[in-house]
Amino acid sequence: MTIALTTEHYQSLIKQREHWQAVDLLRCDMDSFLSLAYLLMLGRPVDGPGYSRGTEFLLSGGGRFCFLQELQNSPEGGARQGRLKVTKHPGIICRLLEKVQLLRGYSIGQRWLDEALGQLRLQAAVSDARLQSQRVEQELLCQLAQVRQQYRVLYQMLQQSEVDELYPALAAVKSDAIPSYEQSRFDAFYMAFEDRFRGARQQIEASQRIYIDYISRLTELGPVSVLDIGCGRGEWLTLLAAQGWQACGVDMNRVMVESCQAQGLDVTEADVIHYLQTQPDNSLSAVTGFHIIEHLPFEVLFTLCEEVLRVLKPGGMVVFETPNPENILVGSHYFYQDVTHQNPLPPLMIEFLAQYIGYSDTELLRLHEPDESHHFAPDNDMAVALNHHFNCGQDYALIARKAFNTQAFNAEELNAEASSSEVHNR
CA distance linking residue 296 with residue 104, whole number of Å: 96
Q: Which residues pair with 322 in a beta bridge?
A: 396
The answer on 199 and 84 residing in a single domain is no
In angstroms, rounded to a whole number, what is the distance separating the alpha carbons of residues 321 and 291?
6
Question: How close are the terminal C-alpha atoms of the chain, in Å?
Answer: 119
Task: Return the minimum-mean-pLDDT range out of 10-14, 118-122, 269-273, 292-296.
Answer: 10-14
Domain co-membership, 249 together with 375: yes
**Domain boundary pick from 30, 60, 88:** 88
Residue 323, C-beta contacts closer than 8 angstroms, at least 6 positions apart: 291, 294, 330, 331, 334, 335, 341, 344, 394, 395
Tell me whether residue 335 is in a domain.
yes
Q: Are residues 59 and 194 in the same domain?
A: no
The Cα 412–Cα 424 span in angstroms is: 18
172 part of a folded domain: no
CA atoms of 222 and 217, how far apart (whole Å): 10
In a domain, 187, yes or no: yes
Q: What is the pLDDT of residues 331-367, one digit of tens each?
A: 787 788 888 888 999 999 999 999 999 999 999 999 9
Q: Answer with the one of 66, 88, 110 that is the final residue of a domain.
A: 88
Specify the number of domains making up the chain.
Answer: 2
- Grade residue 325 by pLDDT with cuts at 50, 70 and 90: very high
Of the candidates 68, 88, 108, which is a domain's last residue? 88
Residues 77 and 217 in one domain: no
Q: Which pLDDT band holds residue 87 (cuts at 50, 70, 90)?
A: low
Q: Give the three-state DSSP class for 63.
A: coil
CATH of the domain at 300: 3.40.50.150
Q: Report d(CA 272, CA 252) in Å as an integer.
A: 8
Q: Is 5 exposed, middle or buried (0-12, 13-18, 19+ CB in 10 A)?
A: middle
Answer yes or no: do 201 and 60 share one domain.
Answer: no
Domain assignment of residue 152, yes or no: no
Q: Are residues 54 and 198 in the same domain?
A: no
- Burial bucket for residue 341 (CB in 10 Å: 0-12, 13-18, 19+): middle
- As a whole number of angstroms, the distance between CA 186 and CA 414 comes to 41
pLDDT of residue 298: 95
**Domain residues for 25?**
7-88
Strand partners, 366: 396
Kindly state whether residue 114 falls inside one of the protein's structural domains.
no
Q: DSSP labels for 298-367?
A: HHHHHHHHHHHHHHEEEEEEEEEEEE-TTSHHHHHTGGGGSTT------HHHHHHHHHHHTEEEEEEEEE
Specify if 273 maps to a domain. yes
* Residues 59 and 206 occupy one common structural domain: no
Is the same domain home to 74 and 220? no
pLDDT for 169-211, tens place per residue? 444 444 444 444 455 566 777 667 776 767 677 888 888 999 9
What's residue 158's pLDDT?
A: 64
Residue 253 lies in a domain: yes
Residues 280-292 have pLDDT tens digits of 999 999 999 999 9
How many whole angstroms separate alpha carbon 425 and alpha carbon 4?
119
For 147, the 3-state DSSP assignment is helix
- In terms of Cβ atoms closer than 10 Å to its own Cβ (0-12, 13-18, 19+), residue 69 is buried
**Count, residues in the chain:** 426
Looking at residues 43-63, what average pLDDT do you find?
84
Q: For position 324, what pLDDT does the model report?
A: 93
Distance CA 203, CA 205 (A): 6
Q: In what order do the strands lie in the sheet with 246-251?
A: 267-269, 246-251, 225-229, 284-290, 312-323, 395-402, 359-367
Task: Give me the pLDDT at residue 36, please.
Answer: 83
Point out the least confidently predicted range of 11-25, 54-68, 248-262, 306-320.
11-25
Question: Is residue 72 situated within a structural domain?
Answer: yes
Cα separation, 191 vs 256, in Å, equals: 7
pLDDT of 417 = 55
| 286 bridge partner residues | 226, 317
pLDDT band of 389, cuts 50, 70, 90: confident
| Whole-number average pLDDT of the chain | 78
Q: What is the pLDDT of residue 336?
A: 80
User: Which pTM value belongs to this model?
Assistant: 0.52
